Amino acid sequence: MSVSFENVAVKYLHAKPLSCGTRKEYRRTVAKWLAWGRGPAIDRIGRSDLRDFLDWVYEKAASDGGSNARRAAN
């Protein structure tokens, strides 16, 4: 059975007490993942998928006029 990145991230956020800032960063990453198109199921994610996702985040931040696009890609 395939599990989505979104489901794993949500379960993690509810499983541990995390700081407000950490929760916000996880939620932002999940939102970016969904905007990217969700990608493959978590058991099929490979390095190339992560590289493509991070490249997309960087390019989107740069095209949106971000003053520090590298920070947005973290």
Please give the pLDDT value at position 1. 62
> Using one digit for the tens of pLDDT, what is the confidence trace for 11-64?
888 888 888 888 888 888 888 888 888 777 788 888 898 899 889 988 888 887
Which residue is associated with the tokens 């989505």? Answer: 4
Q: Which residues does 70 contact at the CB level (< 8 Å), separation at least 6?
A: 58
Please give the pLDDT value at position 66. 66
Helix locations, 1-74, DSSP H = 5-15, 20-36, 47-63, 69-72
Please give the pLDDT value at position 67. 65
Please give the pLDDT value at position 63. 86
